[in-house]
Amino acid sequence: MNAQRGDLMNLELENKVALIVGASGCIGSSIAKTFAAEGCRLVLSSKNLDKLNQLRSELMAIQPEGSFVTYAADIQNFAKAKKLYEECVRQYQHVDILVNCISGPEIGDQQNAGLSDEAWQQSFQGKLSSYIRMINLVLPEMKLNRCGKIINVVGLSAKEPNSRLLISGVINAGIINFTKAMAGEYGQYNININAVNPGFIESKRFNQFVNANEEKINSIKHAIPLRRIGTPNDIANMIAFLASDRSGYITGSTIAVDGGISVSAF
């Protein structure tokens, strides 16, 4: 179920400025709806302007008096990423919250693709470099203001290797390492930097993974202690919490939202 005004968690996020990168995807759009219900002012970014404008219409239904800006940008390009950040500042003067929510490489035989230098370079320039780029853009102002929340949506393949997600696993592990290191460096400025690892979540990416195979879906459900596939809203609720001051003593953490399926103790 997507967030509606009646689902307000009262996390005291009203009028906070949140930049959501990758807002048009299943999880990204659910994050946007949850933030809108909490009263955030939003800058929504992805490559697809049509999807962003559709999302903006949905957000207006949740929060008719809300302030929502859409900006299409391919942040693999530094100049375009910088313009995105500058647009945030132009619209709202600052950024309180950054959520990085970009999909990784296409699911498939990444083990074989991993032998290709081109595949690795494309992946590094995609999710990993884009996350680092956006964090580096917002950090100077957050440091100056001595506050800020950064949340990176990663993936269980960072800690749970899978041959079908070989490249994703390496990229996601790098993001977790960067998250931990930057949290240690910038905690003194009251900046919280965390990561969220979604498990199996109802989404286009999950559908690609299971290939509409009901037997495989049921097998996955059986392996999950909570016996269900997660929803984008499960992820959005955790991210809203991490974006709030209720999570003020949490930083450098990677939190699994996976129904208990991950076997890693750390």
Per-residue pLDDT of 52-95, as tens digits, reads: 999 999 999 999 999 999 999 999 999 999 999 999 999 999 99
Q: 86 lies in a domain?
A: yes
Question: What's the structural domain count of the chain?
Answer: 1
Span 25-45, pLDDT tens digits: 999 999 999 999 999 999 999
The secondary structure of 84-97 as a DSSP string is: HHHHHHHHHSS-SE
Q: Is the whole-model pTM more than 0.75?
A: yes
Quick one: what percent of the chain has pLDDT higher than 90?
71
Q: 13 lies in a domain?
A: yes
CA nearest neighbour of 251 among 202, 191, 206, 201: 191
Q: 264 lies in a domain?
A: no
Q: 263 lies in a domain?
A: no
Question: Once rounded to an integer, what is the mean pLDDT over residues 117-134?
Answer: 88
Domain of 190, CATH number, reads: 3.40.50.720
Q: 265 lies in a domain?
A: no
Confidence bin at 160 (pLDDT 50/70/90): confident
Question: Once rounded to an integer, what is the mean pLDDT over residues 242-256?
Answer: 97
Q: 197 lies in a domain?
A: yes
Confidence bin at 115 (pLDDT 50/70/90): low
**pLDDT of residue 106 exceeding 70:** no
**pLDDT of residue 114 exceeding 70:** no
Enter the tokens of residue 122: 């494309």
How many Cα atoms within 13 Å fall on the side-chain side of residue 236?
27
Span 194-233, pLDDT tens digits: 999 999 898 877 877 777 788 888 898 999 999 999 999 9
Q: 266 lies in a domain?
A: no
Q: 232 lies in a domain?
A: yes
Range of the domain at 217: 5-257
To the nearest whole number, what is the mean pLDDT of the chain? Answer: 90
Confidence bin at 2 (pLDDT 50/70/90): very low
